[in-house]
Amino acid sequence: MFRRFLLLFVSIVIISACSSSEETATIATDNFDRSALLVNIADNIIIPAYEDFSNKMSALKTAGEIFTTTPNQTNLNTLRASWFVAYKTWQQIEVFNIGKAEEIQFSFYMNIYPLTVKDVEDNIANGSYDLNSVNNQDAQGFPALDYLLYGVADTDATILEKYTSAANKENYKKYITAVLNQMNTLTASVTKDFKAQRNTFVNNTSNTLTGSVNELINDYIFYFEKRVRAGKFGIPAGIFSSNPLPEKVEGFYKNDISKELSLQALTAVKNLFEGKYYATATTGVSFKAYLIKLNRADIATSISSQFEAAEAEINKLNNSFSIQINLDNTAMTKSYDELQKAVVLLKVDMLQTFNVSVDYVDADGD
């Protein structure tokens, strides 16, 4: 009898263990239409944004070709303007670190800052480099162009000399071309892949760790927390260091665009939460609608309000965050604080309501 009792006990333990394992693999579901959410995000936000960015990158590449063929002030101005337009549009798509973008580390090749100037200058001096190498991620993309168009010398006249009369002028022009070719190739690959995988993305509606909604929400919050809150504000303001680091702001060499870029990024975050179609006022199924469906309109309203509060604080800042930090860093930390309040609402309140687990590890002590 004791052996039968022991067998029964072991069986119960095994069944219990299996059940626990299954529960950790599959998360509880609700009756929200996740497919409608994914269709709206894919068809009305991600794909149009990718297509717009692809067009802006093509225009930037063309402007680069014209400048490297005929480097003069007019063509420099045109290239600079095209770079800034594309850079602002980049802020609208960096949040979508999914599919091919995640696989190839798209954002690491497009917008790692601060730039390692020594790597750029060494590449130019050598005339030979591999921009596909992870060792060159901090020597290309938008930050490299920021340096090449604004930071290689102190005045426009001396900048132009780098491309017209300097001993290694051909290598400087070659590097601009190589950076632009790399950016366009990666953009085309990411855009093509997402379009090809669109159906897989919208049909993966399971509430599991690998479901499209779960992965997208985690990537969304990670981007807002680490790339916007920390990258654009916290790190240069010295939140994670003993002193402010103004040289680590985005757009350091042009030096009057860091606020605009951060506002563009915040707009992308807000619009995705609201389900707003790309570049229009129309809205569709969204994270906000999901919260409301689950009877948490209070959280939805709080998130929208906090985004507005953060935007209002950012609008008080100097166009140049490096200047702002040097003049009054407290204003930068206030913007960071408002963004942090939104992080808590998204990462704690919203995720708990959706019954979605965080799939990344914190490393900045927040």
pLDDT digits (tens, 9 = 90+) for 138-165: 999 999 999 999 999 999 999 999 999 9
- Calculate what percentage of the chain has a pLDDT beyond 90: 89
Does residue 4 lie within any of the structural domains?
Answer: no
Q: Which of 155, 171, 205 is the last residue of a domain?
A: 205
pLDDT above 60: residue 36: yes
Same domain, yes or no: 242 and 117: no
- Among 149, 184, 205, the domain-final residue is 205
Q: How confident is the model at residue 125 (pLDDT cuts 50, 70, 90)?
A: very high
Q: What is the mean pLDDT of residues 218-224?
A: 98
Residue 229 and residue 193 share a domain? no
Check whether residue 198 and residue 313 sit in a common domain: no
Could you tell me the pTM of the whole model? 0.91
Residues 146 and 291 in one domain: no
Judged against a pLDDT cut of 80, whether residue 355 lies above it is answered with yes
**Which position has the higher pLDDT, 246 or 23?**
246
Range name among 30-34, 53-57, 359-363 with the lowest pLDDT average? 359-363
Assign 26 to helix, strand or coil: strand
Same domain, 186 and 306: no
pLDDT at 364: 56
Are 124 and 166 part of one and the same domain? yes
Residue 6 has pLDDT above 90, yes or no: no
- Residues 79, 144: one domain? yes
Q: Would residue 188 count as lying in a domain?
A: yes
Is pLDDT at 57 greater than 50 in this prediction? yes
Please tell me whether residues 241 and 298 are part of one structural domain. Answer: yes
> Is 124 in the same domain as 262?
no
CATH code, domain with 126 = 1.20.1420.20
Number of domains in the chain: 2
As a whole number, the mean pLDDT across the chain is 92
Domain boundary among 205, 240, 262: 205
Residue 61 shares a structural domain with residue 159: yes
In the predicted structure, residue 106 carries a pLDDT above the cut 90: yes
Classify 99 in phi/psi space as left (phi over 0), alpha (psi -120 to 50) or beta. left
- Do 44 and 173 belong together in one domain? yes
pLDDT computed for residue 30 by the predictor: 84
Strand partners, 208: 26
Q: Residue 59 and residue 302: Cα distance in Å, rounded?
A: 39
Digit-coded pLDDT (tens) for 60-99: 999 999 999 999 999 999 999 999 999 999 999 999 999 9
Instruction: Note whether 81 and 227 are same-domain residues.
Output: no
Is residue 186 included in any domain, yes or no? yes
Biggest CA pair distance of the chain: 97
- Structural domain that includes position 269: 208-355
pLDDT level of residue 302 (50, 70, 90 thresholds): very high
- Cα(142)–Cα(144) distance, integer angstroms: 5
